[in-house]
Chains A and B, each alone.
Chain A
């Protein structure tokens, strides 16, 4: 078997890494990787790979051999002329495309479920989110009748306050949902409340958009600060309702 020239080995490795990034983020994680981030990763990767391939003088020579061969061997004239014409066009076109002003809005990525602070001030009190539990959850076992009552109260809180955005089917399709950017979350989806703890919801509902950390772009979220309008009890009730209606179970620390 003929050995693949080292130059093509190197290019192959770089392309492989590049495409695996794209496959990993865009398809497996379903989160398009920002081009600026990708560019930064690729810069370090190319620098590293080139360093490895040019470690000794001999290896550098071997690496460049196909290029020198193409330039110097008169039999390769055709290939050489083709490459020499295409190169300047590519460079010119790339620079032009970079400088032509973009009319596409910048892509802004925000984290939808940012890591919560370990302790946070809500309703004028300090809470440790790592240990906080829904004080009403215990009735589910202890007093099922009272529990149904609390869920019904939660349903009332929801239909009075939340459905115009999150939808009365809890599907994120309320009357004003399409008018918002970013759009309200769909609680029936397995990727939202099913992944979260009740204390997380308590924090998110109480402090709303402005309570988000910076990586979640608090300046654009239209989620109101519900501690201004609801009582603590009502928030715990509406949380019971969210899980009850969707059939999801909250995450707990044991899991």
Chain B
């Protein structure tokens, strides 16, 4: 009986707690959100965690700022990118700011703080940073009108696509396929370089990528950048609420699902093909080849360093024949960087260079874990580098072969037997490399062989972001595997072993029988 009593009091106390929580939840929204934070408590947090980037004065000029693109927000400007207020309002809602601080801004150096700071800490720091812009004294604007959300469907996406293309509405900046392959040089309010978002990579959206968030961005635009509001009555490209839902559904549908990074996959698998390997970047056989996508990181190890890269991933496919190996590299690039070309010069940062891509292999495939240093090898372990460049208005594309033993010791090889060719379409480069499986210089060239894991590094240059020489993005070591064609050998070996064991067993049994008969 005592047991039961215990359980009932337990349940009763839980019910009581439940009511208390429910009661609190009802009371809380009545307090305005800003009241949740205390600026003087936020000041300390601000100095410890935020001032390094946003500056002690809130002017976005902290010591970390110099190497960041986009730069940290200048809170004194009163401009915030992510808002859900009606068009033309400039004071963001508290929820908007809270979301940015708690979840962070993907693809930028602004991290989410919810794992380190409590909700109360974040409200406090927000109360403090609102003082920089005087927003502690101002009321946020009303929430924007969402109307009735239109669920995504083929019809809605179709309508959205038409509106996206109509009058060059979004294509003007985001390109035909949404990769952000702009035709214009876009600057933010502080004359920092901005790039139209690549809509096929929605995990990089600052404000989140569910259709409701996308709807909000299309409605308010992104203040401080050239991403316009399409709820603006004065705009000739204005969209109604319904139309904005269709466009949001269309944008959501652009998300890339292949050619995305799978952190588990570190191997590029080359399959054996009948006849010749692909000679062109649009050979239909590439469609069947399994892509592997890797992250690119900016090169910050050796001078000149690159802190503000524009590429983030590269996708690799490979195939081989008896005689040749072919590797296809694809990556999104907003700009086709052809020095000498008027449009390219206009869009580019100062110092337009060619776009480029490179593959690095060890000269000898290591048989232990030891590999050459991933950044161009080392004295004891030389590497081969195949380097393709997109060409200028005067020069065609080029490919060169280098042997390197570290940054300082690079030999350009004469008449390389590596071939490469690239094509650019709607914001994507596709570059094909081709070489013989075996060459006449085993001491200087890698000799490919089947069934072994071959270390490989990739590097890429965006000429319009002034990437050139050692300023580029790259990967660390991954693997290339020429998939073994011998399916029969293991099966045969297994069968033979089986037969041998059976033979031994029979022999043994026969011996035992004989012995038993003899006894």
State the total of A-B contacts with C-beta under 8 angstroms: 139
Asked whether any CB of chain A lies closer than 8 Å to the CB of B512, the reply is yes
Which of chain A's residues have a CB closer than 8 A to the CB of B267? 103-105
Check if B52 sits within 8 Å of A155, measured CB to CB.
Answer: yes
Cα of A159 to Cα of B67 in the assembled complex, Å: 10
Within 8 A of B (CB), among A168-220: 168-169, 171, 173-176, 178-182, 208-210, 214, 217-220
- Give the interface segment out of A42-50, A91-99, A112-120: A91-99
Which of A72, A92, A178, A217 interacts with B263 by CB under 8 Å?
A178
Check if B373 sits within 8 Å of A210, measured CB to CB.
Answer: yes
Which of chain B's residues have a CB closer than 8 A to the CB of A222? 297, 301, 374, 476
Asked whether any CB of chain A lies closer than 8 Å to the CB of B21, the reply is no
Cα of A224 to Cα of B267 in the assembled complex, Å: 25
Asked whether any CB of chain A lies closer than 8 Å to the CB of B516, the reply is yes
A104 to chain B, nearest CB (A): 8
Within 8 A of B (CB), among A54-101: 71-72, 84, 87-89, 91-93, 95-96, 99-101
Which of chain A's residues have a CB closer than 8 A to the CB of B502? 88
Cα of A84 to Cα of B508 in the assembled complex, Å: 11
Asked whether any CB of chain A lies closer than 8 Å to the CB of B77, the reply is no
Which of chain B's residues have a CB closer than 8 A to the CB of A155? 52
Which of A160, A167, A169, A180 interacts with B64 by CB under 8 Å?
A160
A237 to chain B, nearest CB (A): 13
B42 to chain A, nearest CB (A): 17
A34 to chain B, nearest CB (A): 10
Which of chain A's residues have a CB closer than 8 A to the CB of B298? 176
Check A220/B111 contact, CB under 8 A, given A101-B451, A105-B267, A180-B297.
Answer: no
**Chain A interface bracket (under 10, 10 to 19, 20 to 34, 35 or more):** 35 or more
Which of chain A's residues have a CB closer than 8 A to the CB of B301? 208, 222, 224-225
Which of chain A's residues have a CB closer than 8 A to the CB of B167? none
Within 8 A of B (CB), among A205-255: 208-210, 214, 217-220, 222, 224-225, 228, 245
Binary interface profile of A, 130-171, with partner B (CB < 8 Å = 1, else 0)? 000000000000000000000000011011100110011101
B163 to chain A, nearest CB (A): 34
Within 8 A of A (CB), among B196-253: none
Asked whether any CB of chain A lies closer than 8 Å to the CB of B408, the reply is no
Interface centre among B266, B378, B476 (most CB of A within 10 A): B476
B301 to chain A, nearest CB (A): 5
Check if B66 sits within 8 Å of A160, measured CB to CB.
Answer: yes
Check if A163 sits within 8 Å of B64, measured CB to CB.
Answer: yes
Asked whether any CB of chain A lies closer than 8 Å to the CB of B145, the reply is no
Check if B378 sits within 8 Å of A219, measured CB to CB.
Answer: yes
Which of chain B's residues have a CB closer than 8 A to the CB of A225? 301
Check if B116 sits within 8 Å of A169, measured CB to CB.
Answer: yes
Check A92/B498 contact, CB under 8 A, given A156-B52, A168-B53, A219-B378.
Answer: yes
Check if B495 sits within 8 Å of A92, measured CB to CB.
Answer: yes
Which of B48, B381, B451, B499 interacts with A219 by CB under 8 Å?
B381
Check if B52 sits within 8 Å of A99, measured CB to CB.
Answer: no
Binary interface profile of A, 5-47, with partner B (CB < 8 Å = 1, else 0)? 0000000000000000000000000000000000000000000
Cα of A240 to Cα of B116 in the assembled complex, Å: 21
Cα of A175 to Cα of B204 in the assembled complex, Å: 12
Cα of A106 to Cα of B298 in the assembled complex, Å: 26
B177 to chain A, nearest CB (A): 24
Check if A105 sits within 8 Å of B479, measured CB to CB.
Answer: yes
Which of B111, B476, B481 interacts with A173 by CB under 8 Å?
B111
B294 to chain A, nearest CB (A): 8
Which of B52, B453, B477, B498 interacts with A159 by CB under 8 Å?
B52
Which of B53, B263, B370, B505 interacts with A214 by CB under 8 Å?
B370
Check if B497 sits within 8 Å of A95, measured CB to CB.
Answer: yes
Cα of A111 to Cα of B467 in the assembled complex, Å: 35
Cα of A169 to Cα of B116 in the assembled complex, Å: 8
Check if B109 sits within 8 Å of A175, measured CB to CB.
Answer: yes
Check if A219 sits within 8 Å of B498, measured CB to CB.
Answer: no
Cα of A178 to Cα of B204 in the assembled complex, Å: 14
- Give the interface segment out of B151-159, B182-190, B344-352, B485-493: B485-493
Cα of A225 to Cα of B66 in the assembled complex, Å: 21
Asked whether any CB of chain A lies closer than 8 Å to the CB of B369, the reply is yes
Check if B296 sits within 8 Å of A179, measured CB to CB.
Answer: yes
What are 18 contact pairs spanning A and B, CB under 8 A?
A: A71-B508, A88-B499, A88-B501, A99-B494, A101-B486, A103-B483, A105-B267, A156-B63, A159-B63, A160-B67, A167-B111, A175-B108, A175-B109, A179-B295, A179-B297, A219-B378, A228-B303, A245-B48
Closest 3 CB pairs of A and B: A179-B295, A96-B494, A92-B498
